[in-house]
Amino acid sequence: MREVAIVGAGMTRFGEIWQSSLRDLFVEAATEAMRNASADHLDAMYVGNMSGGQFVGQEHLGPLMADHLGMAGIPAARVESACASGGVALRLAFMEVASGMSDLVLAAGVEKMNDGADVTAVLASAADQEAEAYHGITFPGLYAMIARAHMEAYGTTEEDMAAVSVKNHRHGALNPKAQFRREVTLEEVMNSSLVAAPLRLLHCSPVSDGAAAVLLCPLERAKEFTDRPVKIIGSGLATGSMALADRNEPAFLDSVSLSAGRAYKMAGIKPSDIDVVEVHDCFSIAEICCLEALCLVERGKGGEAARSGLTALGGKVPVNTSGGLKSKGHPVGATGVAQAIEIFEQLRGESGDRQVADASIGLAQNMGGSGASSAVHIFQRV
């Protein structure tokens, strides 16, 4: 298996982007990634997208996006794994380059969520339809149950979850492409309206439009495209029970633990070797649970992490330096690739005011549904 590097990245601003269509967003991000690597062609392309058909009525995104990028004829396919679609697209691109089938492969993600669809209903399609959605459950409701289970098992508080939001907004305020570039206070989070108790509005990620893309090639060719490649040293993918009620421990994300274990094994590293992390904080409780499943903190200690400063910029394990899904935004198909871009830029020393000093190894974890799928990638500065 060949060693694989990321040599270029491109990303739109995240937010309510009324002036751009789904294809416009994709082409903007993909063109930037190719331009940054001075690449004039692709061998293949994977497009992460959760629900183009429901959000904007557009399926068959592989050939559509290849055509509008000026690359008609290349192998191109849409990848769907709910909110983990981008992370899975990255894994498939990594596998294609590692296998030797292709040399220049684009992994991208895109979503247009603000054009009139019933977002709650579309996102609920990533839950178990018979066991959950049919009975009226929503993702805020599912994550509220996860939060309640964690609170009862470990004494986690609403303030612990609010501290995650405060931290991630502080980071996002430094990110020029974030949807919400403003800080929030603990009091603002705690006084925001209840969505699904105990989760409040400012515990929840927003509805977002956006796209992100990375260009992969064999490490041995990376210097043709950049003098600062970033190597992908680990990739793990796992699944868990779709329905929350079918899990033995609702407060523990099995798929995250399994995907992380596979990525750590491939990379040959320990959790303590990680310098910077992006995790899937679709709700603040998700960051807490992901930290535990990734073995970055002990089980039951995730609630203390943001409040103690452990996961803040300047802390021992900076988490979601981009602002995370909470502040940066969450255009679901694009999220996993955007996480990889944050790590890519951190390891290249390009993150400006949110730069983690001397970062050499980073991890990105992207999750689908309430934890039914998880993709973990580990990156290393070359």
**pLDDT tens-digit readout, 111-133:** 999 998 999 999 999 999 999 99
Query: What are 148-180's pLDDT values in tens digits?
Result: 999 999 999 999 999 999 999 999 999 999 999
What's the pLDDT at 116? 85
CB-based contacts of 57, cutoff 8 Å, min separation 6: none
* Cβ atoms 91, 336 nearer than 8 A: no
Q: Is 204 a catalytic residue?
A: no
Dist. CA 270–CA 293, nearest whole Å: 13
User: Is pLDDT of 357 > 90?
Assistant: yes
User: Domain 127-204+232-381 belongs to what topology?
Assistant: Peroxisomal Thiolase; Chain A, domain 1 (3.40.47)
Query: What are 68-110's pLDDT values in tens digits?
Result: 999 999 999 999 999 999 999 999 999 999 999 999 999 999 9
- The CATH 3.40.47.10 domain(s) of the chain lie at 4-118+207-230, 127-204+232-381
What's the pLDDT at 142? 98
Of 60, 83, 290, 295, which one is the catalytic site residue? 83
CA distances from 89 to 15, 47, 92, 132, 149 (A): 22, 6, 5, 27, 32
Average per-residue pLDDT for the chain = 98
Please give the sequence-ordered ranges of beta strands (E in DSSP) within the chain, or none if there are none.
4-11, 44-48, 76-79, 105-112, 194-196, 199-200, 209-218, 230-239, 276-278, 361-368, 373-381
Query: What are 242-271's pLDDT values in tens digits?
Result: 999 999 999 999 999 999 999 999 999 999
> Phi-psi bin for 134: left (phi > 0), alpha (psi -120 to 50), beta?
alpha
Nearest to 168 by CA among 67, 313, 369, 5: 313
User: Is pLDDT of 31 > 90?
Assistant: yes
CB atoms within 10 A of CB 270: 9
What is the model's pTM?
0.98
Task: Report the pLDDT averaged over residues 359-377.
Answer: 98
The distance between the two most distant Cα atoms of the chain, rounded to a whole number of Å, is: 56
* Cβ atoms 34, 27 nearer than 8 A: no
CATH of domain 4-118+207-230: 3.40.47.10
Instruction: Label residue 296 by pLDDT band (50, 70, 90).
Output: very high
Q: Is 203 a catalytic residue?
A: no
Nearest to 40 by CA among 4, 1, 69, 10: 69
Task: Report the pLDDT averaged over residues 345-371.
Answer: 98
Task: Report the pLDDT averaged over residues 330-358.
Answer: 98
Of 150, 171, 330, 377, which one is the catalytic site residue? 330
* Cβ atoms 294, 365 nearer than 8 A: yes
